[in-house]
Chains A and B, each alone.
Chain A
């Protein structure tokens, strides 16, 4: 084993099979491992490759500037964004910036875009007018319509919307039984198939929430939350503290007076485990706390167990983790 072999590993010049063999050798010798670490450090700092041509970077900067730096009134902002619409297409290369509504004047979207997330991942969808959507774990969004006059999408799961208001354009979110229309706004919608309730919480602006069968129609103001029960079709509007609404996008679990039943659902979505309760009584226990999502499930359970005074056990069955709370 010599230096050049380590270099070949670091710079990905080996076949997958050979790569593993070389790695085995390095990993079993402290001396080689130290050398590997040193060489990888130098390599990563060496600025050895220019992946993006200058033009691409300058386009990326324009998009970055539009989104984060430029602070003007909304009307002007949207106009100048339209000017850049063609340029923004290039930023599409990154799956994280999913630009749509490009060239709104010419194109009509016949294809439906689909975005989804699995366990433990959050995705961001950015619209070319600066609007942003964060998609929580195990959720999906289907863009059903996107033209100058209307953007319509279907949500299954939970998402936080920060929508730049545009008088000329409708922005509609369809869930299983509710239709939510943005009137310029930041709000969170939670509508998982398995949940009994659909919840929309408004942080800023105004949204209109209506039943798909037109049974009701409500306009929410900031700090209001509508909670719709799928079972009986009843809904309540309550006042909430919006500090923690949508906090899931910050890679933290923030539970504010939340029942263990709801907390368990969040944990199931994030960690891909299943959680059962020994008694119904426990499900109703309420808990408040903040936990980093990078924490292991065991630690999260330890924290909750300690503060809520519960016990839990973990069973590993094949590839699946089952947790029992008692």
Chain B
């Protein structure tokens, strides 16, 4: 199966303390990890702080990262961050400042994080959903979508890259979104699709 994650992370380089490889990991996963943290830790500064701590932890424990694939670094990062969120929530739940509703949600969030198993497989499953949807798209439409979502390119840049007009890029994007929306409607909310860009 074709990998949707474009960034290739060399685990060996990370282990050996290569700064360039580390920077690649940092920039590739910062937003993803922050998005994860903010779902459970609703204070922005705290969420970002936990993400920073996660990267620091990766840098300090780089020798102990096992596995070969890019996915193993990703799983390591998410697992570490998950535990940090869990510690944070457990600490918060001892405080008196929350109302009943917040407390109940925190308790359920703790349950979710405790039960969460993060491995390459988890991400593969989520990727699979997207991939299946992309497979069914017309070629041009799919390429426009991939360049935007996975290479982070702006519409103008995509137009140059594919040598098509800006209007065509926009039209293809709309088609791609519509196709995704139909395919994924049971799995992911509308705002996921809109939030992609």
Question: If the complex has contacts A7-B189, A11-B189, A33-B108, are A61 and B35 also in contact, measured as CB distance less than 8 A?
Answer: no
Number of interface residues, chain A, beta carbon within 8 A: 47
Which of A40-48, A174-182, A304-312 faces chain B? A40-48
Contact in complex: B126, A42 (CB < 8 Å): yes
Q: Is residue A36 within 8 Å, beta carbon to beta carbon, of the partner chain?
A: yes
Contact in complex: A47, B32 (CB < 8 Å): yes
Secondary structure call for the A interface: helix
- List chain B residues, Cβ under 8 A from A49: 31, 35, 195
What's the minimum C-beta distance from B181 to chain A, rounded to whole angstroms? 12
Give the distance in Å from the alpha carbon of A13 to the alpha carbon of B122 in the complex.
Answer: 26
Closest chain A residue to B189, Cβ basis:
A7
Which of B8-16, B48-56, B138-146, B156-164 faces chain A? B48-56
Closest chain A residue to B82, Cβ basis:
A44
Give the distance in Å from the alpha carbon of A13 to the alpha carbon of B192 in the complex.
Answer: 12
- List chain A residues, Cβ under 8 A from B35: 44, 46-51
What's the minimum C-beta distance from B180 to chain A, rounded to whole angstroms? 12
Contact in complex: B27, A296 (CB < 8 Å): no
Closest chain A residue to B5, Cβ basis:
A47
Contact in complex: A57, B26 (CB < 8 Å): yes
Which one of A37, A272, A295, A296 has the greatest number of beta carbons of chain B within 10 Å?
Answer: A37
Give the distance in Å from the alpha carbon of A15 to the alpha carbon of B140 in the complex.
Answer: 39
Closest chain B residue to A121, Cβ basis:
B95
Question: If the complex has contacts A23-B104, A51-B31, A294-B87, are A46 and B26 also in contact, measured as CB distance less than 8 A?
Answer: no
Which single member of B48, B91, B112, B189 contacts A4 (CB below 8 Å)? B189
Question: If the complex has contacts A23-B101, A48-B196, are A65 and B34 also in contact, measured as CB distance less than 8 A?
Answer: no
Q: Is residue A216 within 8 Å, beta carbon to beta carbon, of the partner chain?
A: no
What's the minimum C-beta distance from A278 to chain B, rounded to whole angstroms? 25
Total A-B contacts with CB atoms under 8 angstroms apart: 119
Give the distance in Å from the alpha carbon of A44 to the alpha carbon of B39 in the complex.
Answer: 6
Contact in complex: A64, B189 (CB < 8 Å): no
User: Contact string, A286-297, partner B, CB cutoff 8 A, digits 1/0?
Assistant: 000000011111
What's the minimum C-beta distance from A274 to chain B, rounded to whole angstroms? 14
Give the distance in Å from the alpha carbon of A185 to the alpha carbon of B172 in the complex.
Answer: 60
- List chain A residues, Cβ under 8 A from B108: 27, 33, 36-37
Closest chain B residue to A118, Cβ basis:
B97
**In the complex, which range does the number of interface residues on chain B fall in?**
35 or more
Q: Is residue A223 within 8 Å, beta carbon to beta carbon, of the partner chain?
A: no
Which single member of B27, B96, B190 contacts A57 (CB below 8 Å)? B27
- List chain B residues, Cβ under 8 A from A52: 30-31, 34
- List chain A residues, Cβ under 8 A from B195: 48-49
Contact in complex: B188, A40 (CB < 8 Å): no
- List chain A residues, Cβ under 8 A from B59: 68-69
Contact in complex: A45, B48 (CB < 8 Å): no
Give the distance in Å from the alpha carbon of A61 to the alpha carbon of B126 in the complex.
Answer: 28
Which one of A49, A65, A295 has the greatest number of beta carbons of chain B within 10 Å?
Answer: A49
Closest chain A residue to B29, Cβ basis:
A47
Q: Is residue A105 within 8 Å, beta carbon to beta carbon, of the partner chain?
A: no
Closest chain B residue to A50, Cβ basis:
B31
- List chain B residues, Cβ under 8 A from A33: 108
Give the distance in Å from the alpha carbon of A3 to the alpha carbon of B59 in the complex.
Answer: 40
Give the distance in Å from the alpha carbon of A12 to the alpha carbon of B55 in the complex.
Answer: 28
Q: Is residue A107 within 8 Å, beta carbon to beta carbon, of the partner chain?
A: no
Q: Is residue B1 within 8 Å, beta carbon to beta carbon, of the partner chain?
A: no
Closest chain A residue to B188, Cβ basis:
A46
Closest chain A residue to B28, Cβ basis:
A57
Contact in complex: A42, B152 (CB < 8 Å): no
Q: Is residue B64 within 8 Å, beta carbon to beta carbon, of the partner chain?
A: no
A-B contacts, 14 listed (Cβ < 8 Å): A4-B189, A7-B191, A37-B112, A43-B189, A47-B32, A48-B188, A49-B195, A52-B34, A54-B27, A61-B23, A68-B59, A96-B49, A251-B91, A294-B91
Taking A57-B26, A69-B19, A251-B91 as known contacts, 11 extra A-B pairs with beta carbons closer than 8 A to each other, sorted by chain A number, are A3-B186, A4-B189, A7-B190, A7-B191, A13-B191, A20-B101, A27-B104, A40-B109, A45-B122, A64-B55, A272-B96
The 3 closest A-B pairs by CB, nearest first: A7-B189, A47-B32, A44-B39
